[in-house]
Amino acid sequence: MIHGFSIPEYLWDPTFHRLASAGFRVLRYDLFGRGYSDRPDVIYDGDLFDRQLVDLLAALKILGSVDVVGCSMGGSIAVSFAARHPESVHSVALIGPGYLSGERLPFRLREPIGEYTMAVSIAPTLPDSQRADLYHPERFPEYVEKYRPQMRYKGFRAALLSTLRHYIVVDSSGDYGRLGKTRIPVLLIWGRFDQDVPLEVSEKIRAAVPQARFHIIEDSAHVPHYEHPEIVNPILVSFLSTTP
């Protein structure tokens, strides 16, 4: 299970325990620079995130193919992992996945003023900005409060800024196309009122990945599995249970 741009492993709280109770072996982890993972002083790009997952599976001696689940930016990482290592992937489940189109980074985030912008303008607003992930944020007060501890560790802001500069600006459409040419089963779940990755983006993904099974979750935004686990969990369990 691969989380998104900045919210670490707690993003999967409602899903992780349900899958485990259904008998699956479930692994969730923090991407470098987030949560309780290290914050190395490196370039945060697709190669880094891919290598982290490859090394993690090897370190835990997880052999054979795995089911990869990704949300938001974690979705694009999952797609790239499947495109690069199709022999290691049994299925892919995507929840409001990032579909990166290679847009130019805004000037205020480029060098040399990007560090100042991140420290003064962006980072202080990050916890409260997570409310936009939810269609009913008032129902989930813990969603924002769980975000703050990771910000105390040195390197958090630098990791996010490097990700913006070296990963978010890269065109991921080719990886979606390569996934679509495989026989890997794909599940695609989207919140009706997603503001981070609007619902219309799903049309591009479905065109690129024709084998994807598509579900729209009403009354939810960017993280429908968090807002409505009673709807999403059965869909995910069924998909993982019936995939050949």
Residue 133: its H or E element: none
pLDDT higher than 90, residue 101: no
Domains annotated on the chain, with CATH: 9-242 (3.40.50.1820)
pLDDT at 244: 72
- Kindly state the tokens that stand for 69: 């689940």
Amino acid at 2: I
Say if CB 159 and CB 44 are below 8 A apart.
Answer: yes
Give the CA-trace dihedral at 134, 38, 107, 81, to 10 degrees. Answer: -70
Phi, psi of 112 (to 5 degrees): -100, 5
pLDDT at 112: 83
pLDDT higher than 90, residue 91: yes
SS3 of residue 29 by DSSP:
strand
Q: pLDDT tens across 50-62, in order? A: 999 999 999 999 9
Phi, psi of 52 (to 5 degrees): -60, -45
**Cα separations in angstroms, 211 against 130, 164, 186, 187, 237:** 31, 30, 6, 8, 18
**Cα separations in angstroms, 153 against 11, 36, 72, 93, 138:** 19, 9, 23, 31, 28
pLDDT at 54: 98
Could you tell me the pLDDT band of residue 39, with boundaries at 50, 70 and 90?
very high
Mean pLDDT for all residues in the chain: 96
**How far apart, in Å, do the first and last CA atoms of the chain sit?**
20
Could you tell me the pLDDT band of residue 105, with boundaries at 50, 70 and 90?
confident
* Residues in Cβ contact with 153 at an 8 Å cutoff, skipping those fewer than 6 apart: 39
DSSP state of 171: B
Give the CA-trace dihedral at 156, 48, 7, 1, to 10 degrees. Answer: -150
Q: pLDDT tens across 168-181, in order? A: 999 999 999 999 99
- Cα distance between residue 88 and residue 147, in whole Å: 32
What share of the chain has pLDDT > 90, as a percent?
92
Crossing angle, helix 173-180 and helix 73-84, to 10 degrees?
50
- Cα distance between residue 134 and residue 95, in whole Å: 13
SS3 of residue 177 by DSSP:
helix
pLDDT at 222: 98
- Cα distance between residue 109 and residue 112, in whole Å: 8
- Cα distance between residue 216 and residue 208, in whole Å: 18
Say if CB 187 and CB 94 are below 8 A apart.
Answer: yes
DSSP state of 217: E
